[in-house]
Amino acid sequence: MFAVRNARNFCNKLSTMKDQIPFSSDFIFRQLFDTTSSTYTYLLADTDTREAVLIDPVFEHAERDFQLCKDLNLKLKYAMNTHMHADHITGTGFLKKLTNCKSLISKASGADADIHVDESDAVTFGRHKLQIFATPGHTNGCITYYSTEQGIAFTGDTLLIRGCGRTDFQEGNSETLYHSVHKKIFTLPPATKLYPAHDYKGLTSTTVDEEKRLNPRLTKNLQEFVKIMDNLNLPYPKMIDKAVPANKVCGVFELSPQ
């Protein structure tokens, strides 16, 4: 009986470890949503210095995001993207007009920005740090932002909740995406909370553990995964011809969508 109870306690402990890493008390986190493109934007900040970053801001919501920074008494340091999006125009250019922030994107994205980053670089705001992993496959320039301390990663379109980004346009490559997920994201601690750039079913986050167990595509082997991606037969992305040229220049205000 004692052995059973011990085993149960051990399992409970394991399960607890797998479930949650609480945010530190000096870390501000807000998830924001654009219903048109189902894009998630993330506002992160340091409570002491009030420095903030926005991940994947959307053009139409730049003023909302700016207002939220003002409301929370935050100084926007970076408006940064996980990649050069094809489904919405980024808010970075507009946010640069509204604030003193710098735009930031990966070198491999091919997009203009004040700051270009790459694997092994890090983004800091206050005492907080986001490491950068190159996670290409949806596009060449896709990156994942990761905070070890908070146990969170922002996976862009590389890994979605029970899904992944398309690999049939821009420089999409299924094999590359598969390796990015398996070598970079799935090797993070199981409890790591994953925040994607999109969700189309109203889910807001997932974990490494969940996706390793339940992702219907990425639990398959490489050959099966490539076959699935080759046979998705998705329609031509309706915003791509407007969004990609705009996002190449950080969605500057002059290129406002009509």
> Smaller CB distance to a copy of itself: residue 19 or 118?
19
Our finding on whether 30 is near a copy of itself (CB under 8 A) is: yes
Our finding on whether 214 is near a copy of itself (CB under 8 A) is: yes
The bridge status of strand 102-106 relative to strand 75-80 is: parallel
Residue 81's CB is within 10 A of a number of other CB atoms, namely 29
Our finding on whether 25 is near a copy of itself (CB under 8 A) is: yes
Contacts of 128 (CB under 8 A, 6+ apart): 27, 44, 46, 147, 149, 150
The string of DSSP letters for 141-192 reads: T-EEEEETTTTEEEEETTSBTTB----SSTT--HHHHHHHIIIIITTS-TT-
Please report how close the Cβ of residue 205 comes to a copy of itself at its closest, in angstroms: 7
> Smaller CB distance to a copy of itself: residue 19 or 230?
19
Of 8-16, 173-181, 218-226, 231-239, the window that binds a copy of itself (rule: CB under 8 A) is 8-16
Please report how close the Cβ of residue 108 comes to a copy of itself at its closest, in angstroms: 29
The alpha helices in 1-61, defined as continuous H runs, are: 2-19
Q: Applying CB under 8 A, which of residues 31, 187, 219, 223 lies at the interface with a copy of itself?
A: 31
Contact residues for a copy of itself (CB under 8 A)? 12, 15-16, 19-28, 30-35, 38, 41, 47-48, 50, 61, 64, 68, 71-73, 201-205, 210, 213-214
